[in-house]
Amino acid sequence: MHLAAGNKLREIRHQLPETINQRSVTPMKNIRIAAVIFNSAVCQVERNLDRMLPWIEKARSQGADLICFPELTVTGYSTDPAIKDCAESIPGSISGRIAQMAVDKKIILLAGMAEQDEKGRVFASHLVATPGGAVNVYRKLHISPPEQNLFTAGSAIPLFDAGGVKLGVQLCYDAHFPELSTRMAVNGADVIFMPHASPRGTAQEKLESWMRHLSARAFDNGIFIVACNPVGENQQGLDFPGLAVVVGPSGKILAKKTTGDESLLVADLKADDLAAVRNHRMRYFLPNRRPELYK
């Protein structure tokens, strides 16, 4: 597909302010989001792309403005070097098809892939495609020990505009590093989407594990958190427990699904919920940070 020059893929780099008071705050708009519990098979790109479409259509039929798929949705998640066989440059055929889905279905689409650049480096990347044809990318910043012989860490902390909602993306292991969420929040994020590819255990066990840190990311920073995981076997030896969760800016779960099957979690992220925290002097902590002490 042809994308206008102004809409071509880019990785956005920000100079992050030190305190919340140094940025202008634009009130968030209400948004209905969908998070997919999805099964991806490693390096079965066309199969995975084809199977995404019914979930996008289902989310749109339920009024969702944005849909988020798990980490490495399109190429499947693997730490085996064989994933390089289906890693692809951006822009390319995968990003082009993701962009076309977002345009055709009039939805903001978040989906992951293994990206290979001109130097042969492989990144765990997540695309943010908009109905207007723009495609942006987030590259995973924190690479877990089992991934370090394969994936290269990204170096930028982008935020994306989603029709009046400013969003960030973190991938799985990224969520364990509090500074990253705080920097996104200081720079204006209303919501952080956290697509995972976390294997082993039951869905309930995984939810309990996630809530040790995801609720803290939301509560400490006054933001929404949306996380989703694959489900089932990746046809390369890993099995994933399917779950999705939405955490509000008060740190409490707003919606969740723990299922052994593919499923869709739809939730409304409301501006009033965000304002209730950010307008409360004892519940919104970021304005009172003292970054000069943390250097």
Following DSSP, what letter does each residue of 62-99 receive, concatenated? TT-SEEEPPTTTTT----SGGGGGT-B-SSSHHHHHHH
By the 8 A CB rule, do 77 and 234 touch?
yes
236: which 2 tokens?
Answer: 């390369």
- Using the predicted structure, report yes or no on whether residue 199 has a pLDDT greater than 50: yes
- pLDDT at res. 19: 52
The pTM (predicted TM-score) of the whole model is 0.91
Could you tell me the sign of the dihedral formed by the alpha carbons of 60, 62, 64, 69, in that order?
negative
Q: Is residue 92 part of a domain?
A: yes
Structural domain for 283, as ranges: 31-293
Q: Is residue 10 part of a domain?
A: no
Facing residues of 239 across strands? Answer: 233
Q: Is residue 209 part of a domain?
A: yes
Could you tell me the sign of the dihedral formed by the alpha carbons of 38, 44, 45, 51, in that order?
negative
- pLDDT at res. 237: 80
Q: Is residue 230 part of a domain?
A: yes
Name the residue with higher pLDDT: 32 or 18.
32
- Using the predicted structure, report yes or no on whether residue 207 has a pLDDT greater than 80: yes
Mean pLDDT, range 216-242, rounded to an integer: 94
**pLDDT (tens digit per residue) in 162-195:** 989 999 999 999 999 999 999 999 999 999 999 9
Count up the domains in the chain and report the number.
1
- pLDDT at res. 27: 84
Q: Is residue 5 part of a domain?
A: no
**pLDDT (tens digit per residue) in 136-167:** 999 999 999 999 999 999 999 999 999 899 99
The enclosing domain of 35 has a CATH number of 3.60.110.10
How many angstroms separate the CA atoms of 171 and 24, rounded?
Answer: 27
- pLDDT at res. 235: 82
Mean per-residue pLDDT over the chain, rounded? 91
Provide the pLDDT confidence category of residue 273 given band limits of 50, 70 and 90: very high
